[in-house]
Structure 1
């Protein structure tokens, strides 16, 4: 199968028939074999009934997964990735703001230019409000700086993936914004970008508020830490713990020497005494956190799970 189109959705009953017909037209025009995977993330409207009706009309190409409740876009994408069978997986939103006409170009970049992942860039937007545009620019700039991946729009829903990428990563929480970062930490480093059309919203309202940007920065810190130190937490906590304990220890030794040299000096009246004592306590706590992290990591089911690109001479 050439393509799997994975579409997470929440309360998009108006757009589903039009989107389906548009995708099918593009697939037929280009002669692609394909499947459309709709992931209903706990919709409270008639989205699932419409998906069921669309499948009855085209059981060969249309498939669906319905969550019992709303789990979020990351969960929907993760389930869609598990079910996808195509050699190239395309993700897009269901609100008709992503154009299916972009699919052939994204597919060609994966297959002909050998990219692992291609992210869309909505260079010209129709929702350029101050409350959305400014936080988005800050978010993208911070992600570029931390990850070293120079994409303009990490949060664009229109992306293309090589099959091996989606089968090798796990998306959870609200990490869908950072799939390029997750892919890079997993060893898929050929990540590209394509300018794509952004269309005005035709039906319904946006499902995301300003809070997603606050959560986004917290998720960025989390995924950066896990990516670097997930299998070796002591290297992080131990380094900072050693530094903190060392500063505290040197401070206390200095004060003890000063006390020996001048018995009239009172240690408890000097701020350096409390600073040094606090630094030693913090250092010890960081060491303890590192040991606990190592124990958890060593007993994790994925402690020795590594992505192998190729083997020679082995069955």
Structure 2
């Protein structure tokens, strides 16, 4: 099979007939073999009933329904597990992504042998309350991930080699950072494609302020797990040793200063415990010891994990 189109949806009953028909026309025009996998993320507006109707007239449609709303990441992860196509295309169900982009994405994955292509909605129709925070998040993600050639990590329209989606796990709000997850998994051939952003035709946006906070926390999680997941002592141990070292130096400096004054029989104005630096040093020593112990415990947990020696293997002969 050439292409699998994965579409997570939540309360998009109005757009589904137009979207699936549009995809069908594009696929038939280019003679692609394909499947459309619709993941209903707990819709309550009749979306599932509409999907059942569409499936009767469109045999390429497959569908999965969640009992409740789990979020886009969960929907994508389940969809990735179900795909069969050589190239996997993801898009939103609200008609803001154009199926006409599919042929160029497919050709680039095949001809340029890319792992992932992320869409870039260069011209957007979203309000400033959404576009400005998105730009800030994209800048932070570029800086932390080292993927400097992407402008829009969160674009729903993406294309993948099948091997990529079968070797990554998406959860929480991490669908925003799939290129980062793919890179940490060893898939480094990541490029960008300028795509059309269409104004929403039906329904309302599912975007909320809480996604900013969740997205930022997930970015930190990806950064930490990707870099230190198999060696947590390198992170916690380093921080702990540095904190303990500087705390000890400050404490020794204060004590040494008092001993110097005693030896020289010169007046010493304040007691050791009356100096703020003493308490800063004490806190640094205690925090350093705790960080080191945290790293030690995390290392034990990591070594006990069933996944401790699972690594991405590209080829084997």
- Which TM-score band applies after superposition, normalised by the shorter structure? over 0.9
1:183 corresponds to which residue?
A: 182
How far apart, in 2, do the equivalents of 1:177 and 1:290 lie?
29
Question: Structure 1, residues 177-234: CA drift from partner, whole Å, max 9, x if none?
Answer: 0000000011111101111111111100001123322322221111111110011010
Q: Give 1:291 deviation, angstroms.
A: 1.1
How many residue pairs match? The answer is 310
| CA contact 1:132–1:210 (8 Å) conserved in 2 | no
How far apart, in 1, do the equivalents of 2:278 and 2:123 lie?
59
Root mean square deviation of aligned Cα: 1.1
- Counterparts of residues 1-315 of structure 1 (less than 5 Å): 1-59=1-59, 61-127=60-126, 129-149=127-147, 150-263=149-262, 265=268, 266-312=271-317
TM-score (norm 2): 0.95
Q: Give 1:297 deviation, angstroms.
A: 1.0
Q: What runs of 5+ residues in structure 2 fail to find an aligned partner?
A: none
Q: Give 1:136 deviation, angstroms.
A: 1.1
Q: What runs of 5+ residues in structure 1 fail to find an aligned partner?
A: none
Question: Structure 1, residues 242-269: CA drift from partner, whole Å, max 9, x if none?
Answer: 0000011112222222233334642111
Moved more, 78-87 or 303-312: 303-312
Question: Structure 1, residues 86-133: CA drift from partner, whole Å, max 9, x if none?
Answer: 000000000011000000000011001111000111111122x22111
How far apart, in 2, do the equivalents of 1:98 and 1:133 lie?
16
How far apart, in 1, do the equivalents of 2:116 and 2:206 lie?
25
Q: Give 1:5 deviation, angstroms.
A: 0.3
